[in-house]
């Protein structure tokens, strides 16, 4: 069984977000990029654990993006993925990205496709469901646990007000959330090995995006905080009622 | 025509579903046409509520295992799209919406905006829809180019005002014989939340962090929440340390919420925590460190020891409530 892990290249969580070109583009100047945390901590680490337990033969990374994502892909290889493929396109929208990943997975016969629960830049939670829709595969959405037994997977995932343990046959798509695995730190040997692991660059298949981003604006955030003393709690309650109108 | 996918949870139409119906009604008013709500196994009361939220027609299904696999729900929505000639389909950006809307988007080649926060602007054949990006630090206007359009609405971003509207109800039996559920449910677990509203839907939230020192001190947090009728939440380390259950963890890796009121007690306000709560309408921060970053993202702040402030605040709220009655 081969696992394909979809990784996205995103600004570090502490990045100060800025836009350029009249607020139509994300300004990447000086920004540190990382593997999207859900893709790394949960999807990739769980895939590696399954391989280490001899439940999977191979773990391949797939990234739809331009060459500036290669450093991020190498980090994934340093953590232990066997090889990687980059579909050479900007990836204009979720549907386009999903089409690329679906086509590659199908052609190469990957039985388990793992994604993160969402990217921390565009917060779409969409790619996994779209891949499942394109390939007509079962989807386990927002999984917090994942196990493999032969051609079957067992997973736990969130539902309204609780969670559910489910089972399905491979091939399948799983989007991964907190709980699935623990973060790992790459070691020196991994980092050295990553330099020579295969990173194939592939041309995208024909696909037309369905959406585009017209413009961005920053959330102004809160400008001033009204400070009250420990003895002004009645006053706070009054403000919440009359000024904020939330109670 | 606008179609809305709605759900019943704990025998109530979900709040996020009512928001979607109202949102769809506003879209229908912009574009012309009617609103059809799709629901499964709704009672007379549920149907009435969907009408009041703005549905013109309700397609009421009666499928016992619809929720077992999203493949079934997605197929049911596809039938309803055909039946109602819908060009716009609205979901809540919640657990079901996150699974079904993308699948439907791929099947219909309908552009999806996942997590919309405002009504679309109609620009020729395209819709322009605002949504949160960069975990709440910014917004983007997405343009949907396809003829069919799907919008998944972020819960708690659209107010619901019920009217006396009555919907036309039709029994709807989509033929799902060609779709096979491939997911088997082994076990269902329920979070012990007492009588509290589920976090994603809660209007009022009381949240606490590592500043509370240990799980034995959560009594005062629960009392504060009870006095307000709020839902309790926590920061990530608190869940990781097993002081509180994981479903209470809010932030980037946990649940993202946008209640009317978020009270943060003994939480430093790390950027990853803020990512999940900065959409709250009003934020109150209680922290004994005046340099805590959370004060920069708060509307009201109290600098001081949570152990003395929280019980006093509970008393103040009780007094206020007693006065109101
Ligand atoms: C990729 C990534 C994702 C993350 N996702 C999340 C997430 O989803 N949610 C999340 O919460 N965190 C998340 N984190 C962790 C986050 O960075 C912080 O470490 C975490 O939010 C800190 O939790 P805390 O505020 O409870 O604890 P601390 O940072 O330890 O803060 C405790 C606060 O309590 C105050 N305090 C202490 N004693 C008292 C007292 N007696 N009275 C009043 N105040 C007191 C202190 O002044 C301090 O400000 C993430 C981190 C990373 C790297
Ligand atoms: N450009 C991309 N290349 C590879 N995988 C991606 C890309 N964008 C998103 N993904 C995967 O899809 C998941 C969900 O992304 P999104 O739907 O954009 O929130 C991410 O966590 C990744 O696993």
**Chosen from B40, B98, B262 to mutate, greatest number of chain A CBs within 10 A:** B98
Report the predicted TM-score, pTM, of the whole model to 2 decimal places. Answer: 0.95
B45 lines ligand 1 (CB under 6 A): no
Could you tell me the CATH superfamily of domain A2-216?
HUPs (3.40.50.620)
Q: How far is the CA of B288 from the centre of ligand 1 (A)?
A: 13
Q: What is the pLDDT of residues B268-307, one digit of tens each?
A: 999 999 999 999 999 999 999 999 999 999 999 999 999 9
Strand partners, B3: B36, B89
Structure tokens at B272: 């990853």
Give the burial string for A120-129 (b: 16+ CB within 10 Å, else e).
Answer: bbbbbbbbbb
| A40 contacts A49 by C-beta, under 8 angstroms | no
Report the alpha-carbon distance of residue B5 to residue A232 in Å, rounded. 46
**B104 interaction partners in chain A (CB closer than 8 Å):** 133
Report the alpha-carbon distance of residue A156 to residue A5 in Å, rounded. 19
pLDDT at A131: 98
Instruction: Give first-to-last CA distance, chain A, whole Å.
Output: 55
**pLDDT band (50, 70, 90) for residue B206:** very high
Domain spans, chain A: 2-216
Average pLDDT over residues A66-78: 97
| B33 contacts B2 by C-beta, under 8 angstroms | yes
**Chosen from B66, B134, B154 to mutate, greatest number of chain A CBs within 10 A:** B134
- pLDDT exceeds cutoff 80 at A26: yes
A72 lines ligand 2 (CB under 6 A): no
Report the alpha-carbon distance of residue A234 to residue A239 in Å, rounded. 9
Q: Is the dihedral of CA B157, B161, B162, B163 positive or negative?
A: negative
Structure tokens at A214: 């017209």
Average pLDDT over residues B44-71: 96
Report the alpha-carbon distance of residue B106 to residue B99 in Å, rounded. 12
Nearest to B263 by CA among B305, B219, B240, B231: B231
pLDDT at B239: 97
pLDDT at B237: 98
Report the alpha-carbon distance of residue B93 to residue B116 in Å, rounded. 8
In which residue are the tokens 């925590």 written?
B273
Residue A95: HSE in the Cβ half-sphere, 13 Å Cα cutoff: 26
- Give the minimum alpha-carbon distance from A201 to chain B in angstroms, rounded to a whole number: 25
- pLDDT exceeds cutoff 90 at A214: yes
| B39 contacts B8 by C-beta, under 8 angstroms | yes
Q: Under 8 Å CB-to-CB from B193, ≥6 apart: which residues?
A: A161, B231, B247
Q: What is the ipTM of this complex?
A: 0.95
Contact A126 B101 (CB under 8 A): yes
A40: alpha, beta or left, given left = phi > 0 and alpha = psi -120 to 50? Answer: alpha
CB pairs under 8 A between A and B: 271
Nearest to B220 by CA among B88, B309, B100: B309
Structure tokens at A71: 């450093």
Identify the burial level of A227 via C-beta atoms within 10 angstroms of its C-beta, where 0-12 means exposed, 13-18 middle and 19 or more buried.
middle
**A164 interaction partners in chain B (CB closer than 8 Å):** 185-189
Structure tokens at B231: 């839902």
Structure tokens at A169: 């046959």
Helices B95-108 and B70-84: angle between axes, nearest 10 degrees: 60
* Measured CA distances, B2 to B62, B69, B124, B289 (Å): 22, 24, 17, 50
A6 lines ligand 2 (CB under 6 A): yes
Q: What is the pLDDT of residues A140-190, one digit of tens each?
A: 999 999 999 999 999 999 999 899 999 999 999 999 999 999 999 999 999
Report the alpha-carbon distance of residue B112 to residue A98 in Å, rounded. 13
Report the alpha-carbon distance of residue A60 to residue A78 in Å, rounded. 12
Phi first, then psi, for residue B256 (nearest 5°) are -95, 130
Q: What is the pLDDT of residues B113-136, one digit of tens each?
A: 999 999 999 999 999 999 999 988
Contact A218 B304 (CB under 8 A): no
């Amino acid at each position: 069984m081969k696992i394909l892990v979809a990784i996205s290249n995103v600004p570090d969580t502490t990045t100060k977000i800025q836009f350029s070109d009249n607020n139509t583009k994300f300004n990447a100047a000086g920004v540190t990029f990382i593997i999207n945390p859900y893709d790394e901590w949960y999807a990739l680490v769980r895939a590696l654990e399954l391989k280490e337990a001899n439940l999977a033969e191979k773990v391949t990374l797939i990234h739809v993006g331009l060459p500036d994502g290669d450093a991020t892909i190498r980090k994934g290889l340093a953590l232990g993925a066997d090889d990687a493929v980059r579909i050479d396109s900007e990836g204009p929208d979720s549907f386009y990205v999903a089409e690329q990943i679906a086509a590659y997975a199908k052609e190469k016969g990957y039985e388990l496709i793992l994604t993160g629960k969402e990217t921390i830049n565009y917060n779409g939670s969409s790619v996994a469901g779209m891949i499942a829709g394109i390939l007509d595969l079962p989807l386990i959405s927002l999984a917090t646990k994942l196990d493999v037994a032969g051609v079957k997977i067992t997973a736990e995932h969130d539902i309204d007000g609780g969670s559910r343990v489910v089972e399905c046959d491979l091939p399948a798509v799983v989007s991964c959330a907190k709980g699935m695995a623990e973060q790992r730190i790459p070691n020196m040997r991994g980092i050295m090995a990553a330099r020579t692991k295969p990173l194939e660059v592939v041309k995208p298949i024909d696909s037309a995006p369905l959406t585009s981003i017209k413009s961005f604006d920053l959330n102004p955030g809160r400008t001033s905080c009204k400070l009250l003393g420990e003895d002004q709690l009645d006053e706070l309650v009054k403000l919440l009622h009359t000024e904020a109108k939330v109670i | 025509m606008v179609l809305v996918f709605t759900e019943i949870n704990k025998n109530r139409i979900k709040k996020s579903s009512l928001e979607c119906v109202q949102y769809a009604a506003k879209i229908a008013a912009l574009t012309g046409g009617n609103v059809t709500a799709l629901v499964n196994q709704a009672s007379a009361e549920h149907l009435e509520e969907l009408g009041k939220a703005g549905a013109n027609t309700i397609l009421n299904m009666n499928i016992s295992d619809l929720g077992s696999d999203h493949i079934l729900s997605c197929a049911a929505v596809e039938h309803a799209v055909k039946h109602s000639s819908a060009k716009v389909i609205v979901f809540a950006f919640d657990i079901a919406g996150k699974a079904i809307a993308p699948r439907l988007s791929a099947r219909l080649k309908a552009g999806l905006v996942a997590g919309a926060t405002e009504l679309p602007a109609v620009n020729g054949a395209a819709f322009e829809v605002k949504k949160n990006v960069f975990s709440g630090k910014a917004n983007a206007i997405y343009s949907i180019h396809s003829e069919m359009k799907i919008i998944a609405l972020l819960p708690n971003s659209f107010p619901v005002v019920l009217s006396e509207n009555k919907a036309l109800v039709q029994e709807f039996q989509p033929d799902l014989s060609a779709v096979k559920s491939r997911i088997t449910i082994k076990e269902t677990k329920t979070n012990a939340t007492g009588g509290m509203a589920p976090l994603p839907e809660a209007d009022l939230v009381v949240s606490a962090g590592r500043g509370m020192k240990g799980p034995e001190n959560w009594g005062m947090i629960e009392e504060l929440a009870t006095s307000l009728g709020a839902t309790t939440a926590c920061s990530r380390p608190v869940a990781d340390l097993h002081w509180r259950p994981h479903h209470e963890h809010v932030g980037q890796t946990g649940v993202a919420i946008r209640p009317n009121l978020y009270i943060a007690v003994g939480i430093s306000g790390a950027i990853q925590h803020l990512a999940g709560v900065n959409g709250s309408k009003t934020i109150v921060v209680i922290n004994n460190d005046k340099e805590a970053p959370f004060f920069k993202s708060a509307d009201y702040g109290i600098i001081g020891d949570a152990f003395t402030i929280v019980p006093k605040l509970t008393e103040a709220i009780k007094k206020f409530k007693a006065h109101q009655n």
